[in-house]
């Protein structure tokens, strides 16, 4: 895959994580000011759920697979970039999503959460206005939970499947699942008792009928076998997905919404 805005964003996320350094054992109020200054400087935020809202559990059932949804409301059609920030994780910037004209509704995924922490969604409009939504989530150990045997059978690495879900308002969501271990680099192998090297998706590009739909720059916080659900135009016929992981392996698939590859 050629260098893209997503790849540049990914390298930038890595640089930011290195700049922030190791976090304390308990999430503190010092984390967000550092992340905010690095990403947004002194710019101000507006809290408005009609533009951007964040859906997250108060207490996670499984800290390694916490469901989150970033909702772009009817008043948020000008949002073009979304950040997902988890203050208490070893690398706080979990993802950066670039929205193109065809996307509608929300972005849903599952993440690891290492300690009790605020989770934030930040959105930027095409003219530079910033919006934020946040939720405090009680979860612990999601990034460093020991890993047992894989349960993926013989499914090849990088395999993708997709289905289309109709919403109550008549719009559609695409649910994309990608087979990948997404190791955080902090997990312990139960057999060897050693750490498993980091190995995670860092770029996902989605095209609809040949036009850019969504670009995602991801980090170690995304759960195993990454999952993305997002809104699309109801008449989408052809979805192309291109993926690059942290070891520069590349995967691609051409999928039809509503059908497995």
Confidence of residue 261 (pLDDT cuts 50, 70, 90): very low
Residue 216, domain member (yes or no): yes
Residue 2: CB atoms within 10 A of its CB come to 5
Residue 125, domain member (yes or no): yes
Average pLDDT over the chain reads: 84
Q: Are 112 and 223 in contact (CB under 8 A)?
A: yes
Between 4 and 206, the more confident residue is 206
Confidence of residue 152 (pLDDT cuts 50, 70, 90): low
Domain boundaries, position 169: 5-255
Phi/psi at 216 (5° precision): -130, 130
Best mean pLDDT range from 2-11, 168-177, 207-216, 238-247: 238-247
**For 159-210, how does the pLDDT look when each residue is reduced to its tens digit (9 = 90+)?**
999 988 776 666 778 899 999 999 999 998 888 888 999 999 999 999 887 8
Residue 260, domain member (yes or no): no
User: Stretch 238-253: mean pLDDT, rounded?
Assistant: 95
Residue 187: CB atoms within 10 A of its CB come to 21
**For 47-65, how does the pLDDT look when each residue is reduced to its tens digit (9 = 90+)?**
999 999 999 999 999 999 9
CATH code of the domain containing 69: 2.60.40.2470
- How many domains, the chain? 1
Tokens representing 12 are 């930038």
The pLDDT of residue 174 is 85
pLDDT at 14 over 90: no
The pLDDT of residue 239 is 87
- Checking 165-170 for CB contacts under 8 A at 24+ apart, the result is 165/229, 167/105, 167/231, 170/234
Confidence of residue 18 (pLDDT cuts 50, 70, 90): very low
Residue 52, domain member (yes or no): yes
Residue for token digits 């996307």? 103
């Amino acid at each position: 895959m050629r260098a893209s805005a997503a790849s540049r964003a990914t390298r930038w996320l890595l640089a930011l994580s290195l700049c922030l350094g190791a976090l304390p054992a308990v999430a503190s109020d010092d984390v967000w000011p550092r992340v905010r200054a690095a990403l947004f400087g002194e710019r101000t935020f507006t809290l408005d759920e009609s533009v951007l809202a964040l859906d997250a559990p108060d207490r996670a059932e499984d800290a390694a697979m916490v469901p989150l949804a970033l909702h772009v409301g009817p008043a948020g059609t000008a949002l073009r970039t979304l950040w997902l920030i988890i203050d208490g994780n070893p690398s706080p910037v979990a993802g950066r999503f670039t929205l193109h004209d065809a996307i509608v509704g929300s972005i849903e995924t599952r993440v690891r959460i290492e300690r009790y922490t605020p989770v934030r969604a930040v959105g930027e409009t095409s003219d530079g206005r910033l919006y934020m939504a946040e939720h405090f989530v009680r979860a612990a150990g999601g990034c460093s939970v020991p890993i047992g045997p894989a349960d993926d059978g013989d499914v090849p690495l990088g395999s993708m499947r997709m289905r289309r879900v109709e919403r109550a308002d008549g719009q559609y969501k695409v649910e994309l699942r990608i087979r990948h271990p997404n190791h955080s680099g902090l997990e312990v192998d139960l057999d060897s008792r050693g750490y498993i090297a980091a190995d995670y998706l860092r770029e996902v590009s989605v095209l609809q009928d040949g036009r850019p739909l969504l670009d995602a720059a991801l980090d170690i916080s995304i759960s195993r076998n990454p999952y993305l659900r997002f809104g699309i135009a109801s008449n989408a016929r052809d979805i192309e997905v291109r993926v690059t992981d942290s070891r520069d392996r590349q995967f691609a698939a051409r999928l039809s919404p509503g059908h497995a590859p």
